Amino acid sequence: MIIFGAGGDLTRRKLMPALFRLAGAGMLADDFTVLGVAREAMDDDLFRAAIRTALEQFLPPEEATKEALDKFVPRLHYVAGDFAEAATYAAVQERLTVLETGRPADGGRLFYLAIPPSVYATAIDHLAQSGVARRLYAQSDRPWVRVIIEKPFGSSLESAQALNGVVRRAFSEHQIYRIDHYLGKETVQNLLVCRFANSIFEPLWNRQHIHHVQITAVETVGVERRGRYYEEAGVVRDMFQNHLLQLLTLTAMEPPVTFSADAVRDEKAKVLHAIRPITPATMHEYSVRGQYGPGTIDGSAVRGYRTEPDVSPDSGTATYAAVRFMIDNWRWQGVPFYLRSAKRMPRRATEIAIQFRQPPHLMFPLRDGEAFEPNVLAIRVQPNEGISLRFEVKTPGVDVRMASVEMDFNYVEAFGDNGHEAYETLILDCMLGDATLFTRSDEVEAAWSVVDPMIEFWGHKAPDHFPNYAAGTWGPSVADEWIHALGCRWRQP
Ligand code: BG6
């Protein structure tokens, strides 16, 4: 595995811990080797020392033991170089030739682009031209060559199309793995099993029975040290174009004919194509945006977005967005999908909540102050991964009174905590040649077509009411008013 950007945060925080765990679990070949490539002047020993420190920092001490680290770090090698220079790729090729000598001839090369998006195109061109990574015409070709590309894949439909053009000139689609780490999360995959390996949900999974769907991904963190990136991205590019729309496709897609990469991705792409376009004229009916001001998180005072490092003091960037998507097909006609994501919320939570319709007639009288709650199936992606179903029961006593209760499935209670991380699943899938959990070029482009009008409209008109929610609260009051006017209310996951 050749990691471009081996000196960066992603490598230290996510990729190396994932590889270390896969190695520990015996999932990697004995002669599996990593070649790190980055600008920093380092040799193998310094690189190994840096990664050892990172593993000690990001993994619990009982996992990052001296013995396990001593076994893992000798697999790491390093080449220093600039991604824009041909000499770097020549040096990589030279090193790979040495490393691959004496190994089975069918060993693959997996390239991981953990580099800034601005250098993707340059690196891909060089990879192909230098011969370090070859185009393969058939999935079965050996030795295989695959490329994982990190998000963001483009910053608009146009730039994503251009990048897809660059990537396709160098590789065949079956070699390209566009990563969205949400697809590697355990509960996200469980959504597919739940929907398609049970017979009780599918008959209800449509406009006849579902009133609306709420997909929420909210965080307590602010923009941290990523102000420069976030000023350009905002919440729609950062979370909606990829993670949230991916959750929506898995929730809404038709049953694929097989659990194969193309069958699943065909169905997901159809959902994206069926999303009703949002236009400047309908923007206010379909979306609400916000930006956090100063506030309190977990008892500590935190600054507002506009005073974060590298953020403009009059920034119009949204850190909160709620959007109502309508899917114009037979299954979902008339069912709103409310997607919401934000930074600096009171809790970190990602969930998909399916709210069912109320019974057509309620024969039990409600007393003053009593409310009748609809059934909700909530799929908790994180934390506290699991699934719960809310339904009404009679409370004990002579009177007929109702209360809501929950049946709950909790991953840790049921199976114990295996601390499994999304990157482990995804890197292993890529090594095995399974692209089911990676996004195909048509999906990426369709997702950009969905969000582009919103980004463009919001880019033109900086709101004068920002900041409109305090850090540590559940978002702007306009978002509550907006959803109430549509006959729903936000869940607090
Ligand atoms: C990333 C975004 O893709 O996902 C971040 O760039 C966000 O802004 C992160 O914090 C959330 O991921 P997770 O796995 O912590 O929910």
pLDDT at 387: 96
Which residue among 13, 230, 238 has the greatest number of ligand 1 atoms within 8 angstroms of its CB, and so is best to mutate? 238
- Taking residues 71-98, report their average pLDDT: 96
**CATH number of the structural domain 2-182:** 3.40.50.720
Centre of ligand 1 from the C-alpha of residue 456, in Å: 23
The pLDDT confidence band at residue 370, using thresholds 50, 70 and 90, is confident
Is 393 in a helix, a strand, or coil? strand
Task: Give the model's pLDDT for residue 106.
Answer: 78
Entry pTM: 0.95
Ligand 1 atom 9: the closest Cα is on which residue?
Answer: 239
pLDDT band at 151 (very low <50, low <70, confident <90, very high): very high
Atom of ligand 1 nearest to the CA of 151: 3
Q: How far is CA 302 from the centre of its chain?
A: 26
Encode pLDDT of 396-427 as tens digits. Answer: 999 888 889 999 999 999 998 766 889 999 99
C-alpha 166: how far from chain center: 23
Q: Compute how many other C-beta atoms are within 10 angstroms of the C-beta atom of residue 209.
A: 13
Kindly report the protein residue whose alpha carbon is nearest to atom 4 of ligand 1.
Answer: 239
| pLDDT score for 464 | 83
Ligand 1 atom with the smallest distance to the CA of 382 is 16
* Percentage of the residues of the chain whose pLDDT score is greater than 70: 100
Q: Considering 243, 273, 460, 465, which one is annotated as catalytic?
A: 243
Mutate to test the pocket of ligand 1, among 243, 381, 423 (most ligand atoms within 8 A of CB): 243
Tokens of 69: 């680290």
For residue 44, pLDDT beyond 90: yes
Residue scoring higher pLDDT (392 or 462): 392
Ligand 1 site, CB within 6 A: 151, 181, 219, 238, 350
- Single-letter amino acid code for the residue at 190: N
Ligand 1 pocket, mutate which of 182, 186, 381, 384 (most atoms under 8 A from CB): 182
- Residues 52-61 have pLDDT tens digits of 999 999 999 9
**Quick one: pLDDT band at residue 62, thresholds 50, 70, 90?**
very high
| CB atoms near residue 141 (< 10 Å) | 16
Share of the chain above pLDDT 90, in %: 86
* 433 CA distance to ligand 1 middle (Å): 25
Cα(27) to ligand 1 centroid in Å equals 26
Tell me phi and psi for residue 16, to 5 degrees: -65, -45
Residue minimizing CA distance to atom 5 of ligand 1: 238
User: pLDDT at position 362, please?
Assistant: 85
Top pLDDT among 249 and 395 is at 249
In ligand 1, the atom with minimum distance to the C-alpha of 182 is 14
Q: Where are the domains of the chain?
A: 2-182, 185-419+440-485
The Cα 313–Cα 491 span in angstroms is 32
Which tokens belong to 38? Answer: 């980055």
From the CB of residue 243, how many other CB atoms can be counted at a distance below 10 Å? Answer: 23
Cα 382 to Cα 185: distance, rounded to the nearest angstrom: 9
How far apart are the CA of 488 and the centre of ligand 1, in A? 27
pLDDT value at residue 448: 97
The atom number, within ligand 1, closest to the CA of 243 reads 3
CATH superfamily of 185-419+440-485: Dihydrodipicolinate Reductase; domain 2 (3.30.360.10)
Q: What is the mean pLDDT of residues 261-265?
A: 96
Average pLDDT (198-215) is 96
Q: How far is the CA of 347 from the centre of ligand 1 (A)?
A: 14
Q: What is the DSSP code (8-state) at residue 255?
A: P
Tokens representing residue 77 in the block? 């090698």
Contacts of 64 (CB under 8 A, 6+ apart): 20, 55, 56
**Residue 272 above 80 pLDDT?**
yes
Q: At 368, is the pLDDT very low, low, confident or very high (cuts 50, 70, 90)?
A: confident
pLDDT at 3: 98
Alpha helix positions (H), 131-176: 157-170
Question: Rounded CA gap, 295 and 308, in Å?
Answer: 13
Measuring from atom 8 of ligand 1, which residue has the nearest CA? 238
Q: What's the 238 CA to ligand 1 centre distance in angstroms? A: 8
Strand partners of residue 275: 327
b (16+ CB within 10 A) / e for 26-59:
eebeeeebbbbbbeeebebeebbebbbebbeeeb
Output the residue whose Cα is nearest ligand 1's atom 2: 238
The mean of the pLDDT values for the chain is 94
User: Rounded mean pLDDT of 67-92?
Assistant: 97
Of ligand 1's listed atoms, the one at least distance from the Cα of 221 is: 10
What DSSP assignment string belongs to 67-103?
HHHHHHGGGEEEEE--TT-HHHHHHHHHHHHHHHTTS
Distance (Å, rounded) from C-alpha 342 to C-alpha 122?
33
* pLDDT(393) > 90: yes
d(CA 237, CA 235): 6
Closest atom of ligand 1 relative to the 217 alpha carbon: 16
pLDDT digits (tens, 9 = 90+) for 443-470: 999 999 999 999 999 887 778 899 999 9
The closest residue, in CA terms, to atom 14 on ligand 1 is 182
* Ligand 1 center–CA 344 separation, angstroms: 13
Q: Which of 219, 242, 420 to mutate to test the pocket of ligand 1 (most atoms within 8 A of CB)?
A: 219
Average pLDDT over residues 88-103: 94
Closest CA to 113 of 152, 59, 61: 152
Helix (H) and strand (E) counts in the chain: 16, 18
Residue 121 binned pLDDT confidence (cut-offs 50, 70, 90): very high
Ligand 1 centroid to 342 CA: how many Å? 11
3-state helix, strand, coil in the chain (%, to 5): 40, 20, 40
- Minimal-distance CA residue to ligand 1 atom 15: 219
For atom 13 of ligand 1, the residue with the nearest CA is 182
Checking if the pLDDT of 364 tops 90, the result is no
* 427 CA distance to ligand 1 middle (Å): 18
Nearest atom within ligand 1 for CA of residue 348: 16
Q: Is 174 a catalytic site residue?
A: no
Q: With contact defined as beta carbons under 8 Å apart, do 355 and 324 qualify?
A: no
Q: Using pLDDT thresholds of 50, 70 and 90, give the confidence band for residue 142.
A: confident
